Amino acid sequence: MDIVVMKRTLQLLMSLLILFFAACDTNSGNGEIEPHYFEFAHEDGKTSYRFVAKTSDPGVIDKVEKQLQLPFEQRNLHINGDIERGNGGYNEGWSWKFTPGHWDMVEMSVEVCDGRPQMVEDDLDYWVDQVGYFCPWSARVLREVNR
């Protein structure tokens, strides 16, 4: 086979691969990943709480999706991150939310940020202004929420 023909064939194949991967892109077209919303369950003895967190961070999305592949009782990571006032229109029933892009899934956190979602709600100024973040050790991801 002629070297020129081989080069052109290779260029064509590379162009096709680039087009293929561009067509498979899950981004919104502006270079950003669409936000994902995840519902978390926090069981505290006889009380059960639910809250929703939003992220576009691919690393966090990957961690959460891996947790969702496990049976609920085997999920071992909890949410840890900055919180702020307002529910963002998705953390319904609460007057706070995890700051999008500023939370992660972790195995361990310091005790100062552990608590129940209702504790944050009841003393919002303390949690937002002084602690600044929330890491409910008992919270586990429950499901992805469609928005």
19 pLDDT more than 90: no
Order of strands across the sheet that contains 47-55:
47-55, 36-44, 139-145
pLDDT digits (tens, 9 = 90+) for 108-142: 999 999 999 999 999 999 999 999 999 999 999 99
**pLDDT-derived band at 147, boundaries 50, 70, 90:** confident
pTM as predicted:
0.78
Residue 89 has pLDDT above 50, yes or no: yes
pLDDT at position 8: 63
Residue with tokens 């020129």: 4
Q: Give domain limits for the chain.
A: 36-145
Q: Are strands 96-106 and 78-85 parallel, antiparallel or unpaired?
A: antiparallel
34-86 pLDDT per residue, tens: 999 999 999 988 899 999 999 999 999 999 999 999 999 999 999 999 999 99
pLDDT value for 26: 47
Q: CA-CA distance, 123 to 76, in Å (whole number)?
A: 27
Query: Is 128:83 a contact under the CB 8 Å cutoff?
Result: yes
Q: Looking at residues 85-113, what average pLDDT do you find?
A: 97
Could you tell me the two tokens for 80? 């840890």
In what helix (H) or strand (E) does residue 93 lie, and over which residues does it extend?
A: none
